[in-house]
Amino acid sequence: MHITRRNFFRFMGAAGASVAVRPPSVHAWQSQAPPDPFGCLVDLTRCVGCRKCEEACAKVNDLPEPERVNCQCTIFEKDRRPDDTSYTVINRYYTGTVDVFDKPVPTYAKVQCMHCQDPACVSACIVGALTKDDTGAVHYDVSKCIGCRYCMVACPFEIPAYEYYDPITPRVMKCTFCQERISKKGGLPGCAGICPTEALTFGRRQTLLGVARKRLKENPGSYIQHIYGEKEVGGTSWMYLSSVPFEEVNLPLLPDTPSPKLSETIQHSLFSYLWSPVLLFGVLGACMARFNRGNDQKQNNADKGGA
């Protein structure tokens, strides 16, 4: 290693200067959520499992028609997940509640992307193909995507699906919140627009929270006193009301901390302005100068190519 003192200090001087000019400022983590996003309130006590939303979603998003679109019975025998051909599905759950004739009462639950306020998928995406815009929609830009599927690893709701059988140009598939439609004035998502029982209410997230609180207050007996999605992983644009425990209808128990908080905090405190790599470079350079001093001549031949 021809690390002469002069070379070394010149180099370190430059490195030091770059650190001095832009001191590593480590901000506390801040939510990037848009100020007044849209949302959608799903009231499971109102859903009758007609699957009209599945049909409408497929139509407005140019997806294939849902499996057995008119079936409202045997289709529910298996638990389904949104996949690469459907952005939303309805599942049926028997949670033990019975009606006056002792017949078990089903609960139907819609599944789609929750459009988290601080989405793990957006934070994770290597190229920023996923973004959360002002409408609240988490948008996927296929032209940037490289198909690493890190978004799928990150999502706490297990939502993004992948076109695993496309060898060259597979896409990540997930509910778009009908971004184009809701960006227009008065526009509704396909699913919320068609729901015959008003189980799906579209609106500003703030307004919906008010609606939800009102329902909880006016009918305390028919609801679990919790708005799912108000605080889960920092809040989501889609929120749920239910009369049965949320875990039993496949809405997972989640912490209130936004998923990306820890990883982003660690990344930024370590690497903002690359201060730690530059520092490490300096320390190692100093070690190298110190431990190899006087060795230069002796080591010349040995080090050639001994890298």
Partner 1 sequence: MEHKAGPMNRPLWTPGVLVMLVFMFAGALAIIARFTGGIGYVTNLTNARPWGIWVGIDVATGVALAAGGFTTAALAHIFGRHYYEPVTRPALLTAVLGYTFVVLGLLVDIGRSWAIWKPMFHWNLNSVLFEVAMCVMIYLTVLYIEFVPIVAEQFKGRVNLPGLLSKLNNLVDKVLQVADRILGKVMWIFIILGVVLSCMHQSSLGSLMLVAPTKLHPLWYTPLLPLLFLTSAIAVGYPMVVFETTLATASFRLNSEMHILAPLTRITIYLLGIYMLLKLGDMLVRGTWVYLLDGTYQTNAFIVEVLFGVMLPWAMLLCKTIRHSSKGLFTAAALVVGGVVMNRINVFIVGYRSPLSENGYFPAPSEILVTLGLIAALMFIYRVVVTYLPVLQESKEVS
Q: Which of the choices partner 1, ligand SF4, none does residue 138 contact, using the CB cut-off of 5 to 8 A by kind?
A: ligand SF4
Q: How far is the CB of 90 from partner 1 (least distance, A)?
A: 15
Q: Are 172 and 185 in contact (CB under 8 A)?
A: no
With CB under 5 to 8 Å by kind, the binding choice for 269 among partner 1, ligand SF4, none is: none
**Cβ 146 to ligand SF4 shortest distance, Å:** 5
Q: Between residues 104 and 252, which has the closer beta carbon with respect to partner 1? A: 252
- Only segment of 20-28, 100-108, 188-196, 253-261 that touches partner 1 (CB under 8 A): 253-261
Q: Which is nearer to partner 1, 88 or 201 (CB)?
A: 88
Tokens of 299: 């080591």
Nearest residue to 238 via CA among 136, 115, 123 = 115
Binds 44: which of partner 1, ligand SF4, none (CB < 5-8 Å by kind)? none
Contacts with partner 1 in 102-121 (CB under 8 A)?
120
- State the minimum distance, in angstroms, from the CB of residue 268 to ligand SF4: 19
Q: Shortest CA distance to 5 belongs to which of 286, 301, 299?
A: 286
Q: At its nearest, how many Å lie between ligand SF4 and the CB of residue 287?
A: 38
The one among 150, 187, 203, 230 contacting partner 1 by CB under 8 A: 150
Cα(174)–Cα(168) distance, integer angstroms: 19
Among 72, 207, 269, 299, binds partner 1 (CB under 8 A): 299
Q: Which stretch binds partner 1 (CB under 8 A): 40-48, 51-59, 100-108, 282-290?
A: 282-290
Q: 35 contacts which partner out of ligand SF4, partner 1, none, CB within 5 to 8 A by kind? A: none
Q: How far apart are CA 60 and CA 161, in angstroms?
A: 18
Q: Which of 31, 97, 146, 217 binds partner 1 (CB under 8 A)?
A: 146
Which residues make up the interface to ligand SF4 (CB under 6 A)?
Answer: 56-57, 60-61, 87-88, 112-116, 119-121, 124-127, 129-130, 138, 145-151, 155, 157, 159-160, 172, 174-178, 189-191
Identify which of residues 75 and 125 has a Cβ nearer to ligand SF4 in the complex. Answer: 125
Q: Which two tokens stand for residue 92?
A: 């049926």
Helix extents (H) in 102-240: 120-124, 150-154, 179-183, 190-194, 205-218
Contacts of 103 (CB under 8 A, 6+ apart): none
> In the complex, what is the shortest distance from the CB of residue 126 to ligand SF4, in angstroms, rounded to a whole number?
5
Select from partner 1, ligand SF4, none the partner in contact with residue 304, using the beta carbon and a kind-dependent cut-off of 5 to 8 Å.
partner 1
Q: Residue 38 in contact with residue 200, Cβ under 8 Å? A: no
| Consecutive H or E run containing 234 | none
The answer to whether 272 and 252 are in contact (CB under 8 A) is no
Contact between 88 and partner 1 by CB under 8 A: the answer reads no
CB of 90 closer than 8 Å to CB of 51: yes
Collapsed DSSP state (helix, strand, coil) of residue 268: helix
* CB-based contacts of 26, cutoff 8 Å, min separation 6: 268, 269, 272
User: Near partner 1 by CB under 8 A, which window of 46-54, 68-76, 191-199, 284-292?
Assistant: 284-292
Rounded to whole angstroms, the Cα distance separating 185 from 182 reads 7
Within 8 A by CB and 6+ apart from 44, the residues are 107, 108, 109, 199, 240, 241, 242, 243, 244, 249
CA 40 from centre of chain:
16
227 contact, one of partner 1, ligand SF4, none, CB 5-8 Å limit per kind: none
